[in-house]
Structure 1
Amino acid sequence: MFDALADRLESAWKKLRGQDKITPANIQDALREVRRALLEADVNLQVVKDFIAGVEAKAQGAEVISGVRPDQQFIKIVYDELVEVMGDTNVPLAQAEVAPTVVLMAGLQGTGKTTATAKLALHLKKIDRNCLLVATDVYRPAAIDQLVTLGKQIQVPVFEMGSDADPVEIARRGVEQGKAEGVDTVIIDTAGRLQIDRDMMGELARIKEAVQPQETLLVVDAMTGQEAANLTRTFHEEIGITGAILTKLDGDSRGGAALSVRQISGQPIKFVGVGEKVEALQPFYPERMASRILGMGDVLTLVEKAQEEIDLADAEQMQEKILSAKFDFTDFLKQLRLLKNMGSLGGIIKMIPGMNKLNADQLKQGETQLKRCEAMIKSMTAQERKDPDILASSPSRRRRIASGSGYKESDVAKLVSDFQKMRGLMQQMGQGGFPGMPGMFGGMGNPAAAGNRPQPGWRGYNDPGSKKKKKEKKKKGFGTL
C-alpha cells in the first residue's frame, strides 16, 4: 500500500543529488515533493504541516557528515520524523496483575473486527498465552457463528449465550468463565454499527464498566485513510481506548491512516492486519514501518515470520542435504509451502532491502512460476521426487508428469534440468565456492527463461569491461572479486 508514497519520496531525494550540502534553499524542492507525497497518501493535513515543519527544522540545522551525501542525510531525517509521527516505539499489550487480562474489541461494522479478534487470540497463543473469546455481537446475523468457527480454526474456546442475551451480561459472565478456567486473557468481541451512534457508544460504555478491561482496542480500516485517525479520536473521547488495530494494511489504500492515527488521536497503533488469513496480524513497530515506506525493507519482521514457520531440527537436516547434494523435489516442495505460510511472495520480497523496485508484473510472474513448479512436482511419484535424476533419462515419465500437471514435456524437462543445476550450485556454495549464478529460481520450469543468462554483478559474469575493472582493483590492492 506504500508503493506510491515510496515512489513520490524517492523523487524528493533526487532533488538533493549532486548537491554539496543541505541548505535552506536547496531543500525547498525536496520538501515540496515530500508534502505532495504525504497529501496524495491521504495523510491528515495538520499532520503533514507538522511533519514538514519538523523535517525542515532538522534539515536546516543538520551538519552533513563526512562521506554521507546530502540526499542520504535527508532520507535519515525523514526516517526519524516518520518514526516520531507514528509513535517512536512498539507499545505492547498491557497485562493484569491478577489474571485474566481483559481485552475489549470495538469498531464499526465492516472493519474486520471479529476476524481481528481471532487473529489477536492466535498471536497471543503463539507467545504461550491461553485465551478465551467472548461473543457479544447479538445484532449482526451470523456474527456469533463466525467467531465460533474462527475459534475452532485456531483452537481457542469461545463463550457465547446466543443472540437473545444482553451483551453486557454475556461480557460479564464471559470474564467470570475465564477466571474459572484459569485463562490469562479474555478477548471480548463487541457489536459494530454502520456509523457511530448513541446506542452503540452507550452499550460499549456499559460493557466496559462491567468488565473493567486492561485494553480497549479500536479496530479501524486502513482503507478509510485519514478518516481512520478521526474515528480513533472520536472513540477515545467517547469511550476511552488504549490503542488501535489497523486492518487491511496489505490493500491498495494509500497509507495515510498509518501516518495519522497516533498524531490525531493520541493513541498508539498496537497491531496491523496484513492479510485475510488468521495468521496475518503483526505487532506495529514504527521504525519498521518507516523503513518499509522508504523502500528499505523490513528484515526483522521477515526473520520473525521465518522463525514462526521454520523448525530448527528440520533446518539442520535440510542444510546437511544441501551440502551433500541430496536435496530433492520433496524438500523443494516443503520449502515452497513454507514460503506460502509466510505470506505472499510480493509481501516477502518487499521486506528484503533493495527489492522494493520489483514491479507487480515481475512479482506476478514469480508467483506463476512457483505455482507451475508445484503443479509438476505434485504430479511426480514419491520415487521421482526423491531421485530427480531418473526423470532426466526417462521421456515417458516426463510425458506422464506433463499430462498430469497440464504442462508440456519440455516444461518438465526444463524443471528437472534447472533443479539439477541448482542442487549442484547449492553444494558448491556450501563448500565455499560461488560460481556464476544461472537463471535458476526465476526461470525454473519456464521455457521462456531457458535462455536466461547471469546478471551483471555476479562473480563469473563476463560483462564488457569486467577485465578492465579487475585490473583497476588489483592496482588499488583490492584483488579480484
Structure 2
Amino acid sequence: MAFEGLTNRLQNVFSKLRGKGKVSEDDVNEAMREVRLALLEADVNFKVVKEFVAKVKEKSIGKEVMDSFTPGMVIIDIVNKEMTELMGGSQAKLVKSNKPPTVIMMVGLQGAGKTTTSGKLAKLLQKQNSRPLLVAGDIYRPAAIKQLEVLGSQINVPVFSLGDQVSPVEIAKQGLKFAEDNGHDYLIMDTAGRLHIDEELMEELRQIHTAINPDEVLLVVDAMTGQDAVNVAENFNTMLALTGVVLTKLDGDTRGGAALSVKAVTGCPIKFAALGEKIDALEPFYPDRMASRILGMGDMLSLIEKAQSNIDVEKAKEMERKMRNAEFTFDDFLEQMDQVKKLGPLDQIMDMIPGMGKMKQAKDIKVDDKQMGRIEAIVFSMTKEEKQHPNMIDHNRRKRIATGSGTNIAEVNRLIKQFDEMRRMMKQFSDMMGPKGPKGKGMKQLKGLAGKGGMKFPFR
C-alpha cells in the first residue's frame, strides 16, 4: 500500500504527542526530527522536507498550541493541513473546453503506463456520461496501437488509428477532425515515450502540441521511481508546459515520496492517481483525502463514493431486508462478497476506514484477496440446499466440501461457524432496532458480542 512506511512512522510520532497534556518546544523539536527522517525515508525531495518541517515547527511552537488542552491533536491538525497544501491544497480538475472536444495529450517516458492510463482515463470520463475518443499516436513501440485498440474494445470506446506508417503529427490532426465530426466531447491522444528525455522526443511532442493545441498536457509518471519521477516531471515541465501529472503504480510504492514532492518541485498539480491494474483503477487526486490516508485517518469520502458508484442499491435494500428477517443464506453471502470486490482490493478499502490502518499495524493483520477466493471456492462446493440451509451440513458433507474446494475441513468448519455467528449478530441487531429500541435487550447482546471480539476475517 502506498505510504505504508511513512504512515507507520508518523503514527508512532503522533502517538507520543497525543499522550502529553503539555507539549514543550523540546517535544516539538524531537517530533519534527522524526517527521523529517520519516519523510526522507519515504523518498520525499530534501528541499521539500526542509520547508515542510520548518512551516510545521513554526506553527507548532506558538502560544495557542502550547496552551491548548490537546496540544498533540493541534499539532497533528497542523501537519494534516500543511501536507494537504504540499500536494496542491484542493483537487485540480480537468479543464473543459467551451467548444468540444476537450483535447488531452498524454506524455511521459516509456514504461510509465501512458497507454494503459489513457484507457483508464477514457473509462473514467465515460462514467461521467462523456463520449471520449482515444487516438493511437505511439507508432514506435511494438504493439502500442494494438494495446490501445484492445483497451478501447474492453470499455467500448472508439480508437482512432492510421497505423504505424503515418507521422504522429498527421495522426493527431486527423484524429481531432474525426472527433469533431463524430460528436466526441473528449479526445485522448496517446503519444510515444522514450527511455530518457531527448530533444527528438520533445520536438515531436511540440509539433503535436502545435497541431492540436491541447487543453490538457498530462505527464504520466511511475510513482515507484521515487525522486526520478519528480526529476522527469521537472524536465518535461521545462520543455513542454504541463497542466498536470498522473501518478501510476501508487499502490505499489510503500514510500510515496513522488506524490508529496511533485507539486512543490514543479508547480504542476497531480490530477489523477492509479491505484491498481484494473481499467477502473484511476482516481481523481484529492490532496486533503490523500493527506488523511497518509496520517492514518482514513478516507471515508472516497469509500462512500466508491460504494455509491459500484453497489447496486436495489440489491442492497433486499439484502437489508433478509438480514432483518434472518433469511441470510450462503447465496446472499456470495452476493455480498461480489459487491465488496467491486470496491477494489480489500487492503485499500481497509486503509480508507479511520483507525483500520493502525489496527492492521498493531495486530499485524494482512489482508489477502486470495482469501476471498478460498471462501468462494468453499461456498461454490456446496449444493443448492446446503447454501440455503447451512444447518444441514454435517461432518460428511463438510469433508466433501473441503475436497471439492481444495481446502481442508478446518477451514470449512471455521467459515460455517463464522457464518452462523454473523447471522446471529444480524438477528440481534434487528431485535435491537425493534420495538424495545436501542436501549433494550438487543443492545446488551450486541455489546456482549463486541466483548467476545466480534467477527474475524476467515482463515487468519
TM-score of the two chains, using structure 1 as the length reference:
0.88
Please state if 1:372 is matched with 2:405: no
Give CA-to-partner distance per residue, 1:298-350, whole Å, 9 cap, x none.
11111111112111111111110110111111111122122222221111111
Give CA-to-partner distance per residue, 1:345-387, whole Å, 9 cap, x none.
1111111111112149954366454332211001122332233
Q: Distance in 2 between matches of 1:360 and 1:164?
A: 58
Task: Indicate conservation of the 8 Å contact 1:11/1:33, yes or no.
Answer: no
What's the counterpart of residue 390 of structure 1?
Answer: 392
Task: Indicate conservation of the 8 Å contact 1:22/1:70, yes or no.
Answer: yes
Please state if 1:430 is matched with 2:397: no
Give CA-to-partner distance per residue, 1:74-113, whole Å, 9 cap, x none.
1111111101111110011011101111110000001111
SS in 2 for 1:270: strand
The structural deviation recorded for 1:439 is 5.8
AA at the equivalent of 1:49: K
Please state if 1:124 is matched with 2:138: no
Task: Indicate conservation of the 8 Å contact 2:5/2:254, yes or no.
Answer: no
Structure 2 residue aligned with 1:381, among 358, 383, 388?
383
Aligned residue pairs: how many?
Answer: 444
SS in 2 for 1:182: coil
Task: Indicate conservation of the 8 Å contact 1:342/1:348, yes or no.
Answer: yes
The structural deviation recorded for 1:220 is 0.7
**Alpha-carbon spacing, 1:62–1:244, altered in 2? closer, same or farther (3 Å):** farther
SS in 2 for 1:245: strand
After superposition, residues 55-134 of structure 1 pair within 5 angstroms as 55-64=56-65, 68-134=69-135
Mark the runs of 5 or more structure 1 residues left unpaired by the alignment. Answer: 450-481
What's the counterpart of residue 179 of structure 2?
Answer: 178
What's the counterpart of residue 311 of structure 1?
Answer: 312
Q: Distance in 1 between matches of 2:341 and 2:84?
A: 30
What's the counterpart of residue 207 of structure 1?
Answer: 208
AA at the equivalent of 1:383: E
Q: Percent identity?
A: 49
What's the counterpart of residue 435 of structure 2?
Answer: none
Judge which range, 114-123 or 225-234, deviates more: 225-234
SS in 2 for 1:26: helix
Give CA-to-partner distance per residue, 1:417-436, whole Å, 9 cap, x none.
33123112112213322423
What's the counterpart of residue 257 of structure 2?
Answer: 256
SS in 2 for 1:133: strand
SS in 1 for 2:247: strand
Q: Distance in 1 between matches of 2:365 and 2:207?
A: 49
Mark the runs of 5 or more structure 2 residues left unpaired by the alignment. Answer: 433-441
What's the counterpart of residue 141 of structure 1?
Answer: 142
Greater helix share, structure number: 2
Give CA-to-partner distance per residue, 1:86-141, whole Å, 9 cap, x none.
11100110111011111100000011111111111111111111111000000000
Q: Distance in 1 between matches of 2:152 and 2:82?
A: 40
SS in 2 for 1:64: helix
**Alpha-carbon spacing, 1:186–1:359, altered in 2? closer, same or farther (3 Å):** same
**Alpha-carbon spacing, 1:441–1:163, altered in 2? closer, same or farther (3 Å):** farther
Q: Which has the higher contact order (CA 8 A, sep 6+)?
A: 2
Q: Distance in 1 between matches of 2:158 and 2:322?
A: 41
TM-score of the two chains, using structure 2 as the length reference:
0.91
SS in 2 for 1:240: coil
What's the counterpart of residue 421 of structure 2?
Answer: 421
Task: Indicate conservation of the 8 Å contact 2:10/2:295, yes or no.
Answer: yes
Q: Distance in 1 between matches of 2:431 and 2:391?
A: 22
Task: Indicate conservation of the 8 Å contact 1:222/1:253, yes or no.
Answer: no
Q: Distance in 1 between matches of 2:327 and 2:175?
A: 54
Task: Indicate conservation of the 8 Å contact 2:104/2:216, yes or no.
Answer: yes
Q: Distance in 2 between matches of 1:408 and 1:192?
A: 50
What's the counterpart of residue 456 of structure 2?
Answer: 442
Q: Distance in 2 between matches of 1:367 and 1:124?
A: 28
What's the counterpart of residue 437 of structure 2?
Answer: none
After superposition, residues 2-13 of structure 1 pair within 5 angstroms as 2-13=3-14
The structural deviation recorded for 1:178 is 0.9
What's the counterpart of residue 332 of structure 1?
Answer: 333
AA at the equivalent of 2:429: M
SS in 2 for 1:295: coil
Task: Indicate conservation of the 8 Å contact 2:136/2:190, yes or no.
Answer: yes
After superposition, residues 32-47 of structure 1 pair within 5 angstroms as 32-47=33-48
The structural deviation recorded for 1:13 is 2.5
SS in 2 for 1:375: helix
**Alpha-carbon spacing, 1:24–1:419, altered in 2? closer, same or farther (3 Å):** closer
